[in-house]
Amino acid sequence: MSKGGDKRPIVIRRKKVVHAHHGGAWKIALADFMTALMAFFLVLWLLSVSSEETRRGVAEYFSTPLITAITGGDRSGSTSAIPGGGPDPTHSDGERARIDSLQRTRPSMQERNFFRNLQERIERAIEQDPELRQLRSQMRFDLTREGLRIQLLDTDQRPMFELGSDQVAPYMRSLLRTIAPLLNELPNELSISGHTDSVPYAGGYRGYSNWELSNDRANASRRELIAGGFDPDQLLRVSGFADRVLLPETEPTNPINRRIELVVLFPEIAEAIRNPAVMDSGAETPEASIEAVEASAEAQIESTQQDEPQVQAPE
């Protein structure tokens, strides 16, 4: 054995532990929370020292939609172009009336089903006739603001009328007389309108023109419908529009603009046609405005004459 001086040295190794950095995200979250809490207590303090009128104004401000705030903030929920939308600017009675009017003119589900069934019956009747089946491409059905619109369109290859006249083509006559009894299945009244393209007559609008032609073709269609069994009492309006109402995205001379439109009217629309709305008695009419201007001018002339100095003629 070795002596005491030969002892082995003891080596102690110490490891340095480095702790990873946890970041300061919690500090940001805490700062946001404290800011929100301070703002909350600040609002509570402001409300406690404010008057009732001030609190009402604050509530009105936060209840104002963004579109109203952008356009001036004086209509409180109204999207009408008239400030306030009605006699009460905070409740917008006029806006409610506008919404109610839109709801009244919007077709109900029952009306939609009636019109859809009518369209299907007309399409089936046309499909069963080999001659009329070729005209299906010249018919359009759509639901408009007035009612179910049935458009009978012209083409160069198969015109509905003789060129430049109200003479009904044989297949157009057959089509109208096939549709006629089906229109009686609904109690709704009917409107017939004639339309032409923009190709003018030689004499222009001074003689027989597209105005007379469109009206004559509408009446010729009326006669064929009645001959086919349509109830004349359900007919409400027959009119001609010449070339003033063209189909969207079509050239004025396009033959497709030569057409007959049958509109099965909504009851509200038919009532509005029979009894058009009269202007409010409180509203100022153009005649009243003219009379007011004339009266003001006469009063001004009289005032001027009274203010002029009186000059006595020499004796």
pLDDT tens string, the chain, 315 residues long: the values are 455 556 778 877 777 766 666 667 888 888 999 999 999 999 889 888 888 878 877 777 776 655 455 444 444 444 444 444 445 444 455 555 544 554 555 677 888 889 999 999 999 999 999 989 999 999 999 999 999 999 999 998 999 999 899 999 999 999 999 999 999 999 999 999 999 999 988 777 788 999 999 999 999 999 999 999 999 999 999 999 999 999 999 999 999 999 999 999 999 999 999 998 776 655 455 555 555 555 555 555 555 455 444 444 444
Structural domain spans, the chain: 109-274
Q: Are the CB atoms for 188 and 265 separated by under 8 Å? A: yes
How many CB atoms neighbour CB 131 within 10 A?
A: 12
Whether the Cβ atoms of residue 255 and residue 154 lie closer than 8 Å to each other:
yes
Query: What CATH number belongs to 109-274?
Result: 3.30.1330.60
Bridge-based pairing state of the strands 235-240 and 190-195: parallel
Helices then strands, each counted (H, E), the chain: 10, 5
Cα dihedral sign for 28, 31, 35, 41? positive
CA angle centred on 269, ends 98 and 77, rounded to 5°: 10
Strand order in the sheet with 259-265: 139-143, 147-153, 259-265, 190-195, 235-240
pTM above 0.75, yes or no: no
